[in-house]
Amino acid sequence: MSKTILVVDDKISLRRLVKDYLTEQGFRVLTAGDGQEALFIAREERPDLILLDIMMPKLDGYEFIRIFSKDHPTPIILLTAKLEESDKVLGLELGADDYITKPFGMRELLARVRAVLRRSGQPVPEVEVLRCSDIVLDKTRHEVTVAGRAVNLTPTEFALLAELMSAPGRAFSRVALLEAAQGVALETLERSINVHIRNLRAKIEPDASRPRYIETVFGVGYRFNEG
């Protein structure tokens, strides 16, 4: 059964972004725009985890925790734009399990959600969809689309693309990419990565001779273009 997450923030754009992303990852997501609405939904729906903004109208995050956590041991991750250590400490002392500072990346948020759920003894869905530029990679379905077009990749190519897309902008060495592709048929030679990357580019790049997605980092290896 999907875990239910309540996202509480007064910014509708952030609520929609987080809801869309976590829904893709296999969660059931509810949203609230202020603390009072969140209190009503949390009491009715009993979510498995709450993502809670601190600065909200009607009822702020601290007061929400004081009221709700007295009777409900639901894990809470604070979403905070406040950088003062005292604010974070106060939230943790009131009963929050973790915090993440705005602005944050969706993959960091997902990692924290999964970590808190695991610590609370709850099984975590492993569905994962990676989106970078025009490319969508679905690990569960083992599918890749480029600008809406389905692309057939070998297991090695899929593993390499998933690794690169897991951290856009990061330069991966050929050895690191080789390790990521372990478990699939692969020559254990570092230079073989070049061949697989060349084949992968031929399938996903608009022009493989001028790569748009997978860039070469000379002397290091490869990275996925953040843009």
pLDDT tens digits, one per residue of 171-197:
888 877 877 776 554 444 556 788 899
User: Of residues 183 and 133, which shows the higher confidence score?
Assistant: 133
Structure tokens at 133: 């530029």
Side chain identity at residue 32, one-letter code: A
pLDDT (tens digit per residue) in 43-96: 999 999 999 998 888 898 899 999 998 888 899 999 887 666 676 677 777 888
- Tell me, yes or no, if the pTM score tops 0.85: no
Radius of gyration of the chain (CA): 21
Q: How far apart are CA 56 and CA 59, in angstroms?
A: 6
Measured at the CA of 197, the angle between CA 195 and CA 202, to 5 degrees, comes to 100
Taking the mean position of all CA atoms in its chain, how far away is CA 149? 23
pLDDT at 185: 45
pLDDT at 96: 86
CATH superfamily of the domain spanning 4-119: Response regulator (3.40.50.2300)
Domain boundaries along the sequence of the chain: 4-119, 129-224
Structure tokens at 91: 């939230």
Q: Which fold has domain 129-224?
A: Arc Repressor Mutant, subunit A (1.10.10)
